Structure 1
Amino acid sequence: MNANTLDEAMALTKKFTTKPSNEELLKLYGLYKQATEGDNKGETPGGFDFVAAAKHNAWLNNIGKSKEEAQQQYISFVNSISTKYI
């Protein structure tokens, strides 16, 4: 089962029967945010909110990518890991 659009890829992740690794989840998050919102212009979360900081950094890893490029990378990544989790 392969996704061809961002919506199909998102739907495919909801069919995962086990949770992807933290690294995979962060990559998915960063690519999705870049694909839907563009470059991260928010401030770095402070304090001890490690989850928010990790998500912020995952999104920053994609800075400069066009929304279309990030969308294609998100779809490809979902397709590549879907066999492990469905």
Structure 2
Amino acid sequence: MGLQEDFDVAAKEASEKLPDTLTNDEKLELYALFKQAKEGDCSIAQPGIFDPKGRAKWSAWNAKKGQSKEDAMQKYIDYVASLKAKHGTK
């Protein structure tokens, strides 16, 4: 399989096989890598102070700035695999 196909499989596994008990940091890393892989650098304005969840997501994604979509895809694939191993899912 190619990188895009591997990424698509990892995204499906992340939504179907990873437990709901992931930490906020794990969820933010998944989110940031996914957004970077799909859209590239963060292109939206930082949410306001009254949106802490939105700010956390924005900060996580913005921290990936400059990373290529292909690199983010591979890191996402690797991260999903590590989370599956950590949490004992197949």
TM-score, with length taken from structure 2: 0.85
Q: What residue in structure 2 maps to residue 29 of structure 1?
A: 31
Unaligned regions of 5+ residues in structure 1, if any? none
**TM superposition shift of 1:47:** 3.2
Cα RMSD (Å): 1.3
Equivalent residue for 1:48?
50
Assess if the C-alpha contact under 8 Å between 2:10 and 2:80 holds in 1: yes
Please name the residue that 1:39 is paired with. 41
Equivalent AA in structure 2 for residue 38 of structure 1: G
Point out where structure 2 has 5 or more consecutive residues left out of the alignment: none
Q: Equivalent residue for 1:10?
A: 11
- How high is the sequence identity, in percent, across the aligned residues? 41
Large movers: runs of 4+ above 6 Å:
none
